[in-house]
């Protein structure tokens, strides 16, 4: 099986976004391809649009940053875990997925919460 790649005939940002649509696998591949371009050739508008499709964390967000912010108000652990698991296999980060899964299991119902709640229902 060959890895998904941006087709060679997809040249403009409009073509790239049309090829991606709302497909998370394609969005991940396109984002990584865009970041791999030489800095002077990167298209900020493409990265911004692809980030809108992908949500947080982006494929190039350092694992330490993902682990630091996942579970903070507004960034549920389950959201970060789902984003990492949705990447094509060749772009997944197994160690990060394992750590996020452990944190999600430990957080229980709070893993998907925008803000953690205490056992008695109070919010911090």
For residue 64, pLDDT over 80 is answered with yes
**Measured distance CA(72)–CA(44) in Å, rounded:** 27
Band the pLDDT of 74: cuts 50, 70, 90. Answer: confident
- Burial group, residue 100, by CB count within 10 angstroms (0-12, 13-18, 19+): buried
Give the closest residue to 91 by CA, choosing from 9, 24, 15, 10: 24
- In this prediction, residue 115 carries a pLDDT of 66
More confident residue, 40 or 72: 40
Checking if the pLDDT of 110 tops 90, the result is: no
Between 13-20 and 24-36, two packed helices, what is the crossing angle to 10 degrees? 150
CA distance 106 to 22: 31
Tell me: pLDDT of 119 over 60: no
């Amino acid at each position: 099986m060959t890895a998904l790649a941006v087709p060679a005939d997809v040249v403009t940002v409009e073509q790239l976004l049309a090829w991606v649509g709302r497909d998370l696998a394609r969005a991940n591949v396109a984002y990584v391809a865009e970041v791999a371009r030489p800095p002077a050739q990167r298209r900020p508008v493409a990265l911004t649009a692809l980030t809108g499709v992908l949500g947080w964390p982006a494929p190039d967000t350092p694992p330490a940053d993902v682990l630091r912010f996942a579970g903070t108000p507004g960034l549920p652990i389950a959201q970060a875990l789902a984003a990492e698991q949705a990447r094509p296999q060749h772009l997944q980060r197994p160690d990060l997925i394992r750590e996020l899964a452990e944190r999600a299991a430990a957080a229980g119902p709070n893993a998907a919460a925008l803000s953690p709640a205490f056992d008695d229902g109070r919010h911090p």
